[in-house]
Amino acid sequence: MKIPFSPPHIDDKIIDEVVETLRSGWITTGPRTKLFEQRLAEYCGCKRVVCLNSATAGLEIALRWFGVGTGDEVILPAYTYTATASAVIHCGARPVMVDVNDDFLLSAENVRKVVTPRTKVIIPVDFAGLPCDYDSLYEIVNDPGIRELFVPASEVQEQLGRILILSDAAHSLGATYNGMKTGAIADMTVFSFHAVKNLTTAEGGAVCINLPGDFDCDEVYRQLCVGSLHGQSKDALAKTQAGAWRYDVTFPGYKCNMTDIAAAMGLVELERYDSLILPRRKEIFDRYGRAFEKDQRFLIPEYETENKRSSYHVFALRIKDADEITRDRAIQMMAEKGIATNVHFIPLPMLSAYRNLGYNIEDFPNAYRLFSGEISLPVYFTLGDEQVDAVIRELKNSVIAP
Ligand SMILES: *Cc1c(COP(=O)(O)O)cnc(C)c1O
């Protein structure tokens, strides 16, 4: 028996679309990318979407657009992937890490404690696919006292007049919060289409623009597109118009646009995302949930609450009261049976890069406690019920009673 953790779902439909794109004569950013952007915006119910080559690029493009730089602070959870924090560091700003709640999500209470006049952005992370508590976060950034602390240092910061909420929704495409889909909840939202994510384009990402009232989201869309293509005034498609060769570069921009080959994959995946992909992922979550919830040795993750529904990205099971050694032993025993499991994530303060910057895991006790017992189980579209049952059986055999 061999059960991988999260293989990409590549079928003939995707292969045919990619081949058609290759034969179409247009392989880089073009009609398919623009269509994928429109479809994503319709899907999420947000104003505009820019597709890029990764979520990491999306985070950085969004932070740069807001004018985040040296001396600024960006609040984010200690329990996330490195990309959330490295994008902040690339901009010259400082990640201010806070501890998480038992649902692995950013604690709004802890966020409030670390807001300073240097705070420019909060990056909540919809860990495992479950949206964060956005109402509480908006309460914080709209709090008159906290608005007063905010020191605008760019035109758009002046216009917003408060801390920006930039959601890291790398896991949560299709999840809902108060009936709204991710992408339409925060000011800006970043999705990832990396190979292991729910919807993949091999590598890819998107920024949803959902800025309030007086922002011209079409103009922001244009600015982000230009920012992702060298700061050049015309993209390759616009330059193919006869005689339209002349261009300008308005600032030294990035190069992180999405190709039409990637967008072709995304279009196929998005079309069947709600009808096929999410329902199957939910079935797998429910099957794991039923198997582990009555077993005293385990704690199942929250994935549906009164006002939230997950995108069922990571089944973040916890072995009750387990230390790292017990958890690692279970992973090893599963591996010996041919079953791949994973750990999401090693909290950032435990990684050398962040330890060397002075972050200390002892300041994030909840993150450490959650991490120690966490074991992520295989979830993917083609995973059958018998395989799910095999994972359940082998894991139950690999964990000793507490
Ligand atoms: C995967 C992931 C990212 C990075 O996505 P890329 O598209 O690979 O840049 C960012 N944040 C989280 C939480 C992720 O899991």
Say how many Å lie between the CA of residue 171 and the centre of ligand 1.
Answer: 8
Say how many Å lie between the CA of residue 84 and the centre of ligand 1.
Answer: 7
Q: What pLDDT does residue 402 have?
A: 60
392 band by pLDDT with thresholds 50, 70 and 90:
very high
Block residue for tokens 């959870």: 77
The answer, yes or no, to whether any atom of ligand 1 lies below 6 A from the CB of 55, is yes
Say how many Å lie between the CA of residue 150 and the centre of ligand 1.
Answer: 28
Q: What pLDDT does residue 237 have?
A: 76
- Please identify, by atom number, the ligand 1 atom nearest to the C-alpha of residue 54: 7
| Mean pLDDT along residues 313-326 | 96
pLDDT tens-digit series, residues 128-181? 999 999 999 999 999 999 999 999 999 999 999 999 999 999 999 999 999 999
pLDDT > 70: percent of the chain: 100
What are the residue ranges of CATH 3.90.1150.10 in the chain?
A: 274-398
The yes-or-no verdict on residue 56 having pLDDT over 80 is yes
Contact (CB, 8 A) for 191 and 208:
yes
| Mean pLDDT along residues 64-88 | 98
319 band by pLDDT with thresholds 50, 70 and 90:
very high
pLDDT tens-digit series, residues 5-17? 999 999 999 999 9
pTM of structure:
0.97
47: which 2 tokens? Answer: 């104003």
Q: What pLDDT does residue 204 have?
A: 98
Q: What pLDDT does residue 234 have?
A: 78
The answer, yes or no, to whether any atom of ligand 1 lies below 6 A from the CB of 189, is no
**The CATH fold of domain 12-270:** Aspartate Aminotransferase; domain 2 (3.40.640)
How would you classify the pairing of strands 188-192 and 205-209?
antiparallel
| Amino acid occupying residue 212 | P
What are the residue ranges of CATH 3.40.640.10 in the chain?
A: 12-270
The answer, yes or no, to whether any atom of ligand 1 lies below 6 A from the CB of 167, is no
Residue 240 makes CB contacts below 8 A (sequence gap 6+) with none
What is the strand order of the sheet 308-309 is part of? 180-181, 176-177, 308-309
Q: What pLDDT does residue 109 have?
A: 97
pLDDT > 90: percent of the chain: 95
Say how many Å lie between the CA of residue 241 and the centre of ligand 1.
Answer: 36
**What is the homologous superfamily of the domain 274-398 according to CATH?**
Aspartate Aminotransferase, domain 1 (3.90.1150.10)
Distance in angstroms (rounded) separating the CA atoms of residues 129 and 332:
26
The yes-or-no verdict on residue 235 having pLDDT over 90 is no
pLDDT tens-digit series, residues 91-111? 999 999 999 999 999 999 999
Q: Name the residue of 5, 50, 79, 81 to mutate for ligand 1: max ligand atoms within 8 A of Cβ.
A: 81
